[in-house]
Structure 1
Amino acid sequence: MKKVLLHICCGSCACYPYQRLKEEGFEVTGFWYNPNIQPYQEYQRRLMATGYFAQNASLKLIANTDYPLKDFLKGILQKDAFEKVRCPFCYQMRMEEAAKIAKEKNFDYFTTTSLYSKFQQHNLIKKMGEELSKKYGVNFYYEDFRKGWKEGIAISKKMGLYQQNYCGCIFSEAERYKPQINKFLTTN
């Protein structure tokens, strides 16, 4: 049986990809590494939800709970074109860690739940995965998990998993809520 390391951004986004990988005959191990998630209480909520999912789905989970927030912020803020590099830097940081672990622990493949989100830069994630595959000598498993978006949400709600409403970083949180504030201020 082929082994795949599934980088997990949160428990709710893991539901459908985990199910699909099992259907494809993989032995799946989850991998948590998300220094992009802010604030820290949000990070904890998502980690706990991921742990709950793993326990209830009988998913082995490797959790790297290092929280190099400073490294993440330095990486995205030292770039000239912040808006163009923020998400790519985040994908790269997390997927590279997954590729390293996959290599160290002799997995046949690595992949990411970021391929499940309809809000992420899917083609860029695929390209980065392929590049990291060459760099580390571990296959990148690509599947467009977005086709199971609704099914994954239904599974996660049935399990009672925490449903976050922004990607993870403080900037995505601001983008998520700013329109609501602006709408409120213009109507009052």
Structure 2
Amino acid sequence: MERVLVHTCCAPCLTGVHYRLKEEGYEAVSLWYNPNIHPFTEWERRLGELLKYRGLTGIEVIVIDEYPLKKFLKGLIIADERGTEARCSYCIGMRLKRTAEEAKRRGFDYFTTTLLVSRHQPHELIRDLGRRIGRREGVKFLYIDFRKNWKDSVRISRSLHMYRQGYCGCILSEAERYRVEWEEGKDYLKEKGVDIWFG
């Protein structure tokens, strides 16, 4: 059976990917490497959910618990000045590179990522980065359009009462996502005639 090292952004996304890989005859091993997730308490919470999933399913999980916050943020800010795609490319590329390095070092046939299950992630960018990094590192990137398994991941993770986060992990993404809700809330208050001063 061919072995796939799966970069895992979170346990809910892994559920659908794990299900699909088993269906297709692969042995999946999860790799946790996510210095992009902020704040640190969010990183801990997501890792905790992954370890809970391991306990329920027996999937092997490799944890790289490095958290180079300053280095990551410095690179993120520089990349973000070139736009959202450059920011995402930096963040995704860093994690895929580490996954490919570990896959090669540990003798895996392939590497892939749970990011491919999300309808909100830049799918083509992930695929292209994975292939390019795989060629450079000398290990094959397994591209599967896991978006077809997104509903499976929602169903499975809800049935297991998993924490399902509302943003990818990046602090800039978190601010963008929740800022929209804040602005909508302000508009709602104004419509209702609530007199609140927003500086």
Q: What is the aligned partner in structure 2 of residue 164 from structure 1?
A: 165
Q: What is the aligned partner in structure 2 of residue 40 from structure 1?
A: 40
Aligned AA (1:78): I
CA contact (8 A) 1:4 1:26 kept: yes
Q: What is the aligned partner in structure 2 of residue 85 from structure 1?
A: 86
TM-score normalised to structure 1 length: 0.97
CA contact (8 A) 1:11 1:53 kept: yes
CA contact (8 A) 1:76 1:82 kept: no
1:55-107 CA-to-partner distances (Å, cap 9, x unmatched) read 21110000001111112111111234143311110000100000000000000
CA RMSD of aligned residues (A): 1.0
1:150-183 CA-to-partner distances (Å, cap 9, x unmatched) read 1210100111111101110111111111111111
Distance 2:167 2:5 in 1: 24
1:86-131 CA-to-partner distances (Å, cap 9, x unmatched) read 1110000100000000000000000000000100000010001111
TM-score normalised to structure 2 length: 0.92
Distance 1:107 1:77 in 2: 33
Show the 5 A alignment for 1:7-26.
7-26=7-26
Q: What is the aligned partner in structure 2 of residue 5 from structure 1?
A: 5
Distance 2:95 2:70 in 1: 14
Distance 1:127 1:83 in 2: 17
CA contact (8 A) 2:104 2:138 kept: yes
**CA positional deviation for 1:21:** 0.7
Distance 1:28 1:120 in 2: 21
Q: What is the aligned partner in structure 1 of residue 121 from structure 2?
A: 120
Aligned AA (1:38): H
Show the 5 A alignment for 1:176-187.
176-187=177-188
**CA positional deviation for 1:29:** 0.7
Distance 2:10 2:85 in 1: 24
Q: What is the aligned partner in structure 1 of residue 175 from structure 2?
A: 174
Aligned length: 188
**CA positional deviation for 1:50:** 0.8
Aligned AA (1:22): K
Counterpart check, 1:96 vs 2:97: yes
- Sequence identity (%): 43
Q: What is the aligned partner in structure 1 of residue 56 from structure 2?
A: 56
Instruction: State the SS of the aligned residue for 1:78.
Output: helix
Which runs of no fewer than 5 residues in structure 1 stay unpaired? none
Instruction: State the SS of the aligned residue for 1:178.
Output: helix
Distance 1:135 1:159 in 2: 38
**CA positional deviation for 1:148:** 1.3
Which runs of no fewer than 5 residues in structure 2 stay unpaired? 190-199
